[in-house]
Chain A
Amino acid sequence: MDYGAMDIDQVGPRVIIRESFPNRADFVLEHVDLAFANSLRRTMLAEVPTMAIDLVEVDENTSVLADEFIAHRLGLIPLNSKQIEDVLYTRDCDCDQYCENCSITLTMHAKCTGDEIMKVYARDLVVAEPRPNEWVGNPVITDEAGLGPVICKLRKGQAVRMKCIAKKGIAKEHAKWAPTSAIGFEYDPNNKLRHLDYWYEVDPIKEWPVDDRNASWESEGGPQQDDETFDYNAVPSRFFFDLESIGNLEPDAVVQQGIKVMQQKLAAVLQELAGDENRNGNAGGDGFGVQEPDGMQGGDYGVDQGYTTPYVNPGATSQWGGGATPYGATPYGQSGWNQ
């Protein structure tokens, strides 16, 4: 299908989904600059909220694994995070510790009674009701047997009984809240911008593998020709993303959530910059929004090259009466840097 011929506004950002799988999304982002594309990558990696077990109350653990080790393993089990907007952050919730609005309780209660070694799987986690919605908190199970990841193994007579409290969080805080395992990111597969100086022995064209799919996608196509002139003003504008989800969110949801988080962050910046009548800073007056109570008071501050501080004695003399070194007047004479 010829996407280029489609009647799409060529000015704004454009997304073309090339391939889509249950846990992967391969798309091309066009007409945006590098900073934007990378921001989206970073946001999807680290700031899309998901659910993960955050607190574990150990009632009984006679397995060979230590409490904190099992707790760590539990934390890394991906939990379904569909429509996570229904869950509050625990820090924003009205409750004292955690409640059903901001957490999901899973219980693990297993005891080995047979002679065989017993494995405890993620499917053995029992999700307590009520919860914010019907999906959130379910352990992600993708294997055919429907078992999920192994949590621990038990011998005859050993038992584990734990109460797990799953909370909403982001991967910036802990990797267990990551929605993606990796995000492939590439631009300029033919290296026409020459950001990269390939290392080679004889011939870079022969020695370096090229991702054909991405390379041929570029409409200009093909490697750099000898007679082609180098456009040093060119900037990257087409980005090839390959996002792999861990399973707690659908890959498209990860992208959508990522965009949403970015919008919210930008909105916060805009709000700070635009200022607000009710806030203590005013944007028109000095160009700064919110101010530190003690800083930036002296009118002189900021007019020189940065050799003064906003505190009591701007410029040449220090608070102790002597010359401020090294840039002001020194005790040895008027050899100041900026005099």
Chain B
Amino acid sequence: MGTPGTSIRYRTDNKTYRLQTGQTPIVRPPLYNEYGLDNFPNGMNAVVAVISYTGYDMDDAMILNKSAHERGFAHGTIYKTKVIRLDENERTNKARSKSARAINKLFGFAPDSFVSAATRSKLDSDGLPHIGAKVTEGDPLCASHNVTYDPAKTSSVAYINNDGVTQLHKYKDSEVAYVEEVRLLGAESGAEPCQSLSIKLRIPRSPVIGDKFSSRHGQKGVCSQKWPAIDMPFSESGIIPDIIINPHAFPSRMTIGMFVESLAGKAGALHGLAQDSSPWRFTEQDTAGDYFGEQLRLAGYNHHGNEPMYSGITGREFAADIYQGVVFYQRLRHMVNDKFQVRTTGPVTQLTGQPIKGRAKGGGIRVGEMERDALLAHGCAFLLQDRLMGCSDYRREWVCKGCGSFLSTQPTVWGGALGGRRGKGTGVVRCRRCARKLADVIEEGSEVGIGEEWEDGSGEKWVGGEDTTIVAIPGVLRYLDVELSAMGVRMRFNVGP
């Protein structure tokens, strides 16, 4: 996030990220000034302590000072523009300038229609939102109504609303936004009534746990906690860091530049200097460490940039001195609010009954083979079953215990013999494959007891097929059975006990 330009006010990008509380970096090359980048700030100078504190800075996580956050550190905004077209469904009509007759919708409430107080509080009398209004999911962004062209012009307007129904165009995103600007988009001819409008929305994004930050050395990290300032470590002069990062972020990546920036930033902040960060200014004999270290020494600090620090919780001095300095931090546009995904139940695919994919649609995250392996290795059988079946395509299906088939089971209906109830379900599920025709059984000479025979919907009499039961299976299993049977392959399930 940064400052994308000076004309943000007049732009209608689909999505723009903007940093609210930008600063000029203490450590910068001369070109920064030449390009006038102070007009486009893209980060903040943060006091950074390199220390493993509380464990919340493990693995490229970083701890943010809660007070710094409250003072505005890294606050940003997203601007989104929604275009609402009334002629959306008539895209086929390529000629943009339509005849006056072809217009059948207008913005605004239908004249003399009932509009609820809830809607009135959200929209102005012209059916458009108030500037600065807060919109949440499901709130109306604007109103429109159907009209027909009235060539006779019986009233003052050329269009008449006949149904008295107002349609509301809703805000569908889940995040709270504020209306920044409403633009009425006219047609090229300028002769027809307004058919589309563009609404610019402003979404405030103060940093939250899970948002991504980075120094200018590719040391990116994710905020893991907003830690209360009183519990943060502090230096003898009372400086509490804005950011805590873990020392393990450095050895393997060798981002020495960040150390030098930290040193230079600290010296610059203490002396009120903007430091020159041009490369190749130093040599092996005359090192950056010595140059900025000397400045630090003059300010009364250790020339390596280390400081004794105290635990904010106990007040005890740490056994080690802590590397603390000022580093320019940027806020990256990867934010949890755009990425988080949760689901318990939700939409499923028609074919398999399994959850659909995709965050926007409320889908699930796949438990793949490797995840399955991990659960198996931990012995989490119940959890595994819950993930793979319970929360997925759990189904209860009738299966024939005799022939082991899902597909041959069928709920039987009352036959013609019972007159009025014909065609109604009996509640008994029988296997049509295992059932035999009564006539065949009698012909065979077998005994048929009273009530053993049954009649199907077409009036034919049958015996047997009652050996069915319900089993819990993943829905795709039955679908597989169907597919295979279409290829002439029969699946047979041994149902126990």
Contact = CB atoms under 8 A, between A and B. Distances in A.
B312 A174 contact: no
A46 B202 CA distance: 33
Interface stretch (A176-184, A219-227, A304-312): A176-184
Given A37-B315, A188-B317, A195-B317, A175 B67 contact: yes
B321 interface: yes
A38 interface: yes
Contacts of A187: 317
Contacts of A188: 317
Interface in B27-83: 66-68, 70-72, 75, 77
A67 B66 CA distance: 23
Interface in A204-220: 207-209, 211
Nearest to B297: A209
Contacts of B302: 207-209
A68 B178 CA distance: 10
A196 B230 contact: no
A54 interface: no
B158 interface: no
Interface in A179-203: 182-188, 195-199
A182 B321 contact: no
B319 A185 contact: no
Nearest to B309: A196
Contact of B317 (A196, A199, A242): A196
B301 interface: yes
A185 B236 contact: yes
Interface in A135-185: 171-172, 174-176, 178, 182-185
B314 A34 contact: yes
Interface string B280-319: 0000000000000000010011111010101010111111
A171 B67 contact: yes
Contacts of A234: none
A34 B315 CA distance: 7
7 contacts: A61-B132, A182-B238, A185-B310, A196-B308, A196-B320, A199-B304, A211-B236
Nearest to B18: A66
Contact of A46 (B77, B230, B320): B230
A42 interface: yes
B240 A182 contact: yes
A66 B238 contact: no
A37 B204 CA distance: 40
Interface string B172-213: 000000101000000000000000000000101000000000
B316 A186 contact: no
Interface in A246-284: none
A10 B70 CA distance: 42
A242 B237 CA distance: 8
B109 interface: no
Given A38-B314, A67-B178, A172-B228, A76 B319 contact: no
Contact of A207 (B9, B67, B180, B303): B303
Interface residues of B, number: 42
Nearest to A207: B302
A196 B229 contact: no
Which of B9, B240, B316 has the largest count of A CB atoms less than 10 A from its CB? B316
B246 interface: no
Contact of A196 (B9, B68, B319): B319
B259 to A, nearest CB: 14
B270 interface: no
A66 B70 contact: no
A172 B67 CA distance: 9
A100 B308 CA distance: 47
A232 interface: no
Given A72-B75, A182-B237, A38 B301 contact: no
Interface of B: 9, 20, 66-68, 70-72, 75, 77, 132, 178, 180, 202, 204, 228-230, 234, 236-240, 297, 300-304, 306, 308, 310, 312, 314-321
B3 to A, nearest CB: 13
B178 A209 contact: no
A176 B178 contact: no
A41 interface: yes
Given A38-B315, A42-B312, 20 more contacts: A34-B315, A35-B314, A38-B310, A46-B228, A46-B230, A58-B132, A64-B9, A68-B178, A76-B72, A172-B230, A175-B66, A175-B68, A182-B239, A184-B237, A185-B310, A196-B318, A196-B320, A199-B321, A207-B303, A211-B236
Given A175-B229, A197-B319, A66 B178 contact: yes
A295 B14 CA distance: 56
Contact of B202 (A38, A61, A66, A171): A66
A195 B72 contact: no
A27 B314 CA distance: 20
Contacts of A197: 319-320
Contacts of A66: 77, 178, 180, 202, 204
Which of A34, A76, A184, A185 has the largest count of B CB atoms less than 10 A from its CB? A185
A118 B193 CA distance: 39
A199 B20 CA distance: 40
Nearest to A182: B238
Contacts of A186: 236
A188 B202 CA distance: 52
A176 B70 contact: yes
Contacts of B20: 69
B315 A209 contact: no
B180 to A, nearest CB: 8
B321 A242 contact: no
A45 interface: yes
Which of B238, B239, B308 has the largest count of A CB atoms less than 10 A from its CB? B238
A245 B12 CA distance: 44
Contacts of B77: 66
Contacts of A69: 20
A34 B314 CA distance: 8
Given A76-B71, A76-B72, A196-B321, A185 B316 contact: no
A43 B132 CA distance: 39
Given A66-B178, A68-B204, A184-B237, A174 B70 contact: yes
Interface string A37-63: 110011001100000000000100100
Contacts of B66: 175
B164 to A, nearest CB: 35
B202 A195 contact: no
A195 B316 contact: yes
Contacts of A242: 237-238
A100 to B, nearest CB: 27
A72 B72 contact: yes
Contacts of A171: 67, 229
Contacts of A58: 132
B436 to A, nearest CB: 47
A46 B178 contact: no
B413 to A, nearest CB: 43
Contacts of A68: 178, 204
Contacts of B68: 175
Given A61-B132, A67-B178, A244 B202 contact: no
Nearest to A209: B300
A34 B67 CA distance: 24
A196 B322 CA distance: 11
Interface string A276-305: 000000000000000000000000000000
